[in-house]
């Protein structure tokens, strides 16, 4: 049985993002005493919780005020909550990563965010929906692999770096151009989503092609998207197209989870001087949307993508990797907040 005094103390601890106490949120799995040691287990709403350290400090502080407690042992678990009707069997959240134009590093952001979430302990899938210009297979180091079928005749996603992914690059001969019209694109998106054995996933990250065309509309019509992330660079021409992408998602009733400003600045490795090559702070001018992160222009991100391993795994302490990890955790936090505020959750 939970210790009543410990639970009372934990009712004074709020989740810093959800702004409700841990007990009423159902996040306390265990609150017991063994002698003078309080043993508390907290189930976070995502393994990629950006404020885990804050929660741990607040729990320790509150519980240490309970009479007779001499020490506190805090253990963390996680349970990503999902809508009462999941978007796909076994998949809790579908997240679209989009942009209004090409060349802003959208696929690189998508691959690194997916890898960072998986490294934090989430079950993650990555769908390369850029049918005409697939790049995820190369970034995952699996360009030569081919998609196989399960016994149920479903596509079996390829597994790399702790996550599952599907890309048209693993279904077509290398270098072959795909010449399809709209209905074929819709069919491909539908098959990637519904005829694939994704299994149980906390997050399915969808790397969209640039623009506001057939694939984006097909995705929105095929599944319920938890939200979209817009990737842009700081200069005005990119922001104009990013605004169009935001408008497209709004018309499709897809919530905007936030904006990522990629190539936000460059730190010279020899002098440490910061250069705003494309300007800086442009994402703020999109107005009213959370800024999930500013990613510096970093040669290692490009090198690691070419080598087939996301930078957050190859060089986790580099400035760009730290920024990308922060984006992933902020995204997970936004989904947790949205789940509490707007969705009937189970």
Binding-site annotation, residues: 100-107
β pairing state of 163-167 and 91-98? unpaired
Q: What sections of the chain are H helices per DSSP?
A: 4-10, 52-63, 106-119, 136-139, 182-194, 214-222, 236-251, 299-307, 311-314, 319-342
Asked whether the CA dihedral 270, 273, 276, 282 is positive or negative, the reply is positive
Interatomic CA distance for residues 264 and 258, integer angstroms: 16
Report the binding-site residues for ATP: 100-107
Identify which of 67, 80, 64, 75 has the alpha carbon closest to the alpha carbon of residue 13: 64
Q: Quick check: helix, strand or coil at residue 153? A: coil
Interatomic CA distance for residues 27 and 131, integer angstroms: 40
Q: Spell out the residues 6+ positions from residue 185 whose beta carbon is closer than 8 angstroms to its own.
A: 131, 214, 215, 218
């Amino acid at each position: 049985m939970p210790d009543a005094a410990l639970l009372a103390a934990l009712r004074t601890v709020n989740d810093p993002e959800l702004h409700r106490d841990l007990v009423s949120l159902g996040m306390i799995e265990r609150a017991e005493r063994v002698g003078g040691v309080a043993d508390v287990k907290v189930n976070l709403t995502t393994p990629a919780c950006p404020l885990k350290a804050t929660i741990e400090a607040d729990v320790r502080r509150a519980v240490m005020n309970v009479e007779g407690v001499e020490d506190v042992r805090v253990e963390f678990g996680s349970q990503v909550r999902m809508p009462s009707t999941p978007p796909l069997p076994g998949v809790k959240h579908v997240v679209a990563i989009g942009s209004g134009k090409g060349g802003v590093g959208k696929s690189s952001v998508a691959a690194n965010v997916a890898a960072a979430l998986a490294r934090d302990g989430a079950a993650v899938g990555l769908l390369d929906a850029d049918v005409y210009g697939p790049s995820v297979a190369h970034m995952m180091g699996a360009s030569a692999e081919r998609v196989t079928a399960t016994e149920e005749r479903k596509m079996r996603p390829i597994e790399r770096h702790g996550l599952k992914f599907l890309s048209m690059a693993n279904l077509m001969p290398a270098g072959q151009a795909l010449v399809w019209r709209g209905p074929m694109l819709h069919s491909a998106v539908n098959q990637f989503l519904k005829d694939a054995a994704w299994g149980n996933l906390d997050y399915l990250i969808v790397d969209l092609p640039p623009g506001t065309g057939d694939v984006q509309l097909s995705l929105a019509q095929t599944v319920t998207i938890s939200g979209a992330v817009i990737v842009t660079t700081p200069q005005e021409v990119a922001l104009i197209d990013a605004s169009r992408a935001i408008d497209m998602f709004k018309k499709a009733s897809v919530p905007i989870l936030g904006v990522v400003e990629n190539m936000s600045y460059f730190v010279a490795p020899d002098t440490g001087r910061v250069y705003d090559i494309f300007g800086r702070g442009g994402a703020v001018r999109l107005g009213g949307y959370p800024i999930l992160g500013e990613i510096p222009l970093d040669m290692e991100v490009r090198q690691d993508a070419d080598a087939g391993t996301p930078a957050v795994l190859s060089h986790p302490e580099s400035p760009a990797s730290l920024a990308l990890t922060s984006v992933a955790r902020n995204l997970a936090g936004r989904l947790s907040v949205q789940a509490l505020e707007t969705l009937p959750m189970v």
